């Protein structure tokens, strides 16, 4: 089983990204998928998490993820607020929305890192909501390239499941661009 924890802020599409990943994994043939938000008194801009579990077998675990295989960080300012690295297994994969290249990221530990300036990709494809770039779809592209768990093709199908018409097409274009532009350090 692969466990993914999403770190972001209210309004960034953290919960939707976790759902799209779960649906995409199911469409790819994984037998067990779950997606769950972790809510408290969140509001727009407040830190929040969501999780996705992906398995070749049915999943019977529904507790919160304590140590994930993959952590996806939609807002890098959360590093100073949330113990992101504490939620990631040693040798885990850390995906960060950052203009820095993966090899430039200075984080102590033995993590594999992938980065993308997801905000720039979102702006380029006009993925803006209430004046803020929606970085969730670009980070799904990074997820596909860096982890190899869920293919770009199946993420596109997952986006079509959640979005319609022009919104799906625009998000798919951003997903593909993010996949191509991601920087990976293993």
Q: What pLDDT is stored for residue 151 in this prediction?
A: 97
Q: How many residues does the chain have?
A: 186
Question: Model-level pTM?
Answer: 0.94
Q: Over the stretch 110-156, which tens digit does the pLDDT of each residue have?
A: 889 999 999 999 999 999 998 889 999 999 999 999 999 999 999 99
DSSP 9: E
CATH number at residue 178: 3.40.920.10
CA count, 13 A, side-chain hemisphere, 48: 22
Instruction: Name the pairing type of β-strands 112-116 and 183-185.
Output: antiparallel
Instruction: Tell me how many domains the chain contains.
Output: 1
The one-character DSSP state at 29 is: T
Secondary structure (3-state) at 39:
coil
Residues 72-107 pLDDT 10s:
999 999 998 999 999 999 999 999 999 999 888 877
- Does residue 169 surpass a pLDDT of 80? yes
DSSP states of 52-107 as a string? Answer: EEEESS-----SPPSSEEEEEES-GGGGGTS-TGGGEEEEEEEEEE-SS-GGG---
76 is in which domain, residue-wise? 2-185
Does the pLDDT value for residue 31 go beyond 70? yes
């Amino acid at each position: 089983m692969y466990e993914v924890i999403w770190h972001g802020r209210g309004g960034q599409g953290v919960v939707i990204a976790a759902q799209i990943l779960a649906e995409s994994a199911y469409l790819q043939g994984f037998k067990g998928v779950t997606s769950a938000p972790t809510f408290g008194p969140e509001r727009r801009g407040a830190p929040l998490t969501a999780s996705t579990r992906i398995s070749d077998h049915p999943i019977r675990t529904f507790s919160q993820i304590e140590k994930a295989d993959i952590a996806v960080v939609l807002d890098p300012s959360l590093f100073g607020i949330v113990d992101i690295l504490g939620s990631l297994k040693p040798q885990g994969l850390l995906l960060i929305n950052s203009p820095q290249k993966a090899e430039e990221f200075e984080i102590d530990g033995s993590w594999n890192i992938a980065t993308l300036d997801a905000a720039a990709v979102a702006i380029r494809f006009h993925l803006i909501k209430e004046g803020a770039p929606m970085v969730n779809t670009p980070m799904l592209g990074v997820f596909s390239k860096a982890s190899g768990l869920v293919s770009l093709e199946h993420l596109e199908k997952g986006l079509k499941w959640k979005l319609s018409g022009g919104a799906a097409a625009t998000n798919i274009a951003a997903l593909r661009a993010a996949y191509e532009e991601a920087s990976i350090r293993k």
